Amino acid sequence: MPYTYLIFRAKRPVQVGSQVDEADVTPIGTSKEIRALFHAVIPELTWDDTGGAGYYKVGDEEFIVSLFEQGPIHMAVSATGHSPRGFQGYLIEICAAAGLFAVDDGLVLGGMLRL
pLDDT at 89: 82
Q: What is the DSSP letter of 43?
A: T
Chain centre to alpha carbon of residue 89: 11
Question: 3-110 adopts what CATH topology?
Answer: TATA-Binding Protein (3.30.310)
Chain centre to alpha carbon of residue 68: 10
pLDDT at 86: 73
Cα gap 75→58, rounded to integer Å? 26
pLDDT single digits (tens) 6-48:
788 877 776 656 666 777 777 777 778 888 888 898 899 999 8
Neighbours of 82 (CB within 10 A): 11
**Mean of pLDDT over the chain:** 75
The reported pTM is 0.71
pLDDT at 69: 66
